[in-house]
Amino acid sequence: MRGRAAEIADAGGYDWEVVWEALKTEPPADDPSTITQELGLGEEREISQGHAPMPATEFSGTRNGRRVALRMGVVPSMLRGRGVNEVQVEASVAPFRVRDDDGRLVAEPGGVPGVEEFLAGLSPAPTEWHGLEVEGGPDGILARRPVTAHPQGYVYDLWLAERLADRLGA
């Protein structure tokens, strides 16, 4: 499956290790700079959080021509004390919102054409999509979920955000 993420029609039907392998875009390195180097996210930095006791970690890079960031342990000030993992794909798209509804991803009514149709093709996956919220707009696509929702949920989030960017022509 290495490098074949775009060929996966429904990531929720696969174990996270399979999706991780499919997301790889870079060859293995003898001395990788980050654990996400093979995903094309070879830059790593700590993010100071004045309202949280620990810094978050960001892995970033360019994937498929788009800037992508994976942020682990972010505590948005509005969620004080509740950490989230985020995936951001820089791709200007029309505004939309998606959320988990008992394992099924649903778009807000009246959203962007193409989003609802894409989501309808995904099977319910209560574990894989648990707690996920996605927002799209002119600044890109941001997928966010509580760190406690799924230990490797960000793998599914990256797959989803990139598929939505592809679908919306970004």
* 52: three-class secondary structure by DSSP: coil
Is 96 domain-assigned?
yes
Q: Which tokens sit at 68?
A: 């992508």
Is 13 domain-assigned?
no
Closest CA to 128 of 96, 97, 105, 162: 105
Closest CA to 10 of 146, 132, 125, 167: 125
Q: What's the pLDDT score for residue 91?
A: 94
Is 1 domain-assigned?
no
Q: What's the pLDDT score for residue 83?
A: 84
Is 127 domain-assigned?
yes
pLDDT digits (tens, 9 = 90+) for 70-79: 999 888 765 5
- What pairing do the DSSP bridges indicate for beta strands 43-47 and 140-146? unpaired
pLDDT digits (tens, 9 = 90+) for 12-63: 999 999 999 999 999 998 988 889 999 999 999 999 887 777 888 999 999 9
Domains identified in the chain, total number:
1
- What are the φ/ψ torsions at residue 100 (nearest 5 degrees)? -80, 135
Is 14 domain-assigned?
no
Is 7 domain-assigned?
no
Instruction: Give buried/exposed letters for 117-143 (b at 16+ CB in 10 A, else e).
Output: ebbeebeebeebbbbbbbbbeeebbbb
Is 35 domain-assigned?
no
Is the entire prediction scored with pTM above 0.75?
Answer: yes
Instruction: Give buried/exposed letters for 10-20 (b at 16+ CB in 10 A, else e).
Output: ebbebebeebb
pLDDT digits (tens, 9 = 90+) for 103-116: 999 998 777 888 99
What average pLDDT does this structure show over 108-129?
90
Is 49 domain-assigned?
yes
The whole domain housing 146 covers 43-167
Cβ–Cβ under 8 Å, residues 43 and 57: no
CA distance 58 to 74: 9
Q: What's the pLDDT score for residue 153?
A: 95
Q: In angstroms, what CA-CA distances link 20 with 36, 86, 108, 170?
A: 10, 16, 28, 22
pLDDT digits (tens, 9 = 90+) for 78-98: 556 678 999 999 999 999 999
